């Protein structure tokens, strides 16, 4: 049973470009959350998707957007990349339900130069 | 959402010793979860303790919860080098997503 998978594992982009990160949730999970983790910091909540809709959003600008597909997989898009967007982006899945334990992927390391 | 605050920020111990880290939060919760993160990897769920529980065990892990003090502690007994990681607490309550603090960085020296 595959856990949460994220692609790509590493990515280097130039300031101003756009990036798309992908996540496949653990089998049986229908809720996907995205987190941004800067070096030395804890993961910061970006948004959560359920039933193909954004249900919750953290304090991130509109440059960050997402999508969830009918098979529950998800994408995170970031437009107009800034140097400060360099971070580890983590995807977490969970079954429906309040505060169910999250299952995390190993993340995508994004470097913006 | 509320974020837990872990203390200490960093902890260094010898292999075989016990490691204790604490978490404080501000408002009432339904449960509290602890996660571990090895360097550069995703977080791994360790244990969930509900608000009506005072203590919970899982292998070498012991978690306590004091809702009157709004605090929790994670004890790792007989630490191993493989326990070296960052540990995060996440207070849970209502229909809000989990948020994480800066964590406690544990170093276990062989």
- Weakest-pLDDT range from A10-24, A94-108, B45-59, B73-87: A94-108
pLDDT greater at residue B1 or residue A4: A4
| pLDDT value of residue A1 | 62
| pLDDT value of residue A2 | 74
Read off the pLDDT of residues B45-55 as tens digits, 9 standing for 90 and up: 999 999 999 99
Taking 70 as the threshold, does the pLDDT of residue A38 lie above it?
Answer: yes
User: Where do the structural domains in chain B lie, given as residue ranges?
Assistant: 5-109
Read off the pLDDT of residues A63-99 as tens digits, 9 standing for 90 and up: 999 999 999 999 999 999 999 999 999 999 998 865 6
CA distance A16 to chain B (A): 25
- Ordered by where they begin, the domains of chain A are 5-112 (2.60.40.10)
* Positive/negative CA dihedral, A102, B4, B55, B35: positive
CA distance A76 to A3: 18
Interface of B with A (CB under 8 A): 1, 3, 30-31, 33, 35, 40-45, 48, 88, 92-103
Query: Cβ of B42 and A101 within 8 Å?
Result: no
pLDDT bucket at A49, cuts 50 / 70 / 90? very high
| pLDDT value of residue A21 | 98
CATH match of B5-109 with 2.60.40.10: yes
Residue among B89, B108, B86, B84 at smallest CA distance from B99: B89
Read off the pLDDT of residues B29-65 as tens digits, 9 standing for 90 and up: 889 999 999 998 999 999 999 999 999 999 999 999 9
CA distance B106 to B81: 10
């Amino acid at each position: 049973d595959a856990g949460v998978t994220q692609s790509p594992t590493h990515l280097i982009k130039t300031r101003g470009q756009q990036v798309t990160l992908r996540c496949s949730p653990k089998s049986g999970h229908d809720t996907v959350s995205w987190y941004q983790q800067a070096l030395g910091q804890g993961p910061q909540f970006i948004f959560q998707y359920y039933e193909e809709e954004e249900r919750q959003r953290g304090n991130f600008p509109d440059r960050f957007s997402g999508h969830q597909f009918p098979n529950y997989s998800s994408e995170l898009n970031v437009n107009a990349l800034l140097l400060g967007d360099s971070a580890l982006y983590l995807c977490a899945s969970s079954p429906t339900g309040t505060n169910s334990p999250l299952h995390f992927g190993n993340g995508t390391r994004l470097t913006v130069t | 959402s509320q974020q837990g605050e872990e203390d200490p920020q960093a902890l260094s111990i010898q292999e075989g010793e016990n490691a204790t880290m604490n978490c404080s939060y501000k408002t009432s919760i339904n449960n509290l979860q602890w996660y571990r993160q090895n360097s550069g990897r995703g977080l791994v769920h360790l244990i969930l303790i509900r608000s009506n529980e005072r203590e919970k065990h899982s292998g070498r892990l012991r978690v306590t919860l004091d809702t009157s003090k709004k605090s929790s502690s994670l004890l790792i007994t007989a630490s191993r080098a493989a326990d070296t990681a960052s540990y995060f607490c996440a207070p849970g309550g209502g229909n809000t997503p989990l948020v994480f603090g800066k964590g406690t960085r544990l170093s276990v020296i062989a």
